[in-house]
Amino acid sequence: MQFVPIPITPEWLSKTIHLWFPFLEHISKRSKEPIRSLGQQIVRGDIQLALAWDEGEQKAYGLFGLCFTMRGDDKIGEVRWLTGHDMKRWLGLLPELEQYFRDCGCVVVRPICRPGWSRMIRGKGYKITHYTMEKVL
């Protein structure tokens, strides 16, 4: 399994749309955000995509949605989206994801994850710093 970032260019996004677009439906259902809005975030460059890619099968098993923010002078790498199937096969990509953020100049990686996912990565050096809660009005 490989961690494969997709360059944020119209050429690369259109070349790879068949690989990442199917994952947007699941992200949309969880986030309640329309697929069109998710696509716009990608096209604008607000979210960079990366795949959990099985080279042997030539198949994407997961999709990461990444973004970068600043905290003072520190660049923070955020994992905004993380979805896919058979996650236990690609959870081992965390070191590659972390190295990618380091290579981009980040000093912190901040995954935004559901409770079940947080339990899976807590033992890999991640700790809870904040809780995000929501209520439908």
97, two tokens: 């994801």
Nearest by Cα to 77 from 53, 96, 57, 59? 96
CATH number reported for the structural domain that contains residue 19 in this entry: 3.40.630.30
- Residue in the structure block whose two tokens are 């995954």: 111
Q: How far apart are CA 63 and CA 52, in angstroms?
A: 6
Q: Which residues contact 116 (CB under 8 A, 6 or more apart)?
A: none
Domain-located, residue 37: yes
Domain-located, residue 127: no
Domain-located, residue 134: no
Domain-located, residue 129: no
Domain-located, residue 52: yes
Q: Which residues contact 133 (CB under 8 A, 6 or more apart)?
A: none
* Contact status, residue 41 vs residue 28, Cβ threshold 8 Å: no
Q: How far apart are CA 73 and CA 42, in angstroms?
A: 25
Q: For each of the chain's 137 residues, which pLDDT tens digit applies?
A: 999 999 989 999 999 999 999 999 999 998 889 999 999 999 999 999 999 999 999 999 999 999 999 999 999 999 998 888 888 888 889 899 999 999 999 998 887 666 666 666 676 676 776 666 565 66
Residue numbers of the domain that contains 42: 2-122
Total domains, the chain: 1
Q: What is the torsional sign of CA 94, 96, 90, 15?
A: positive
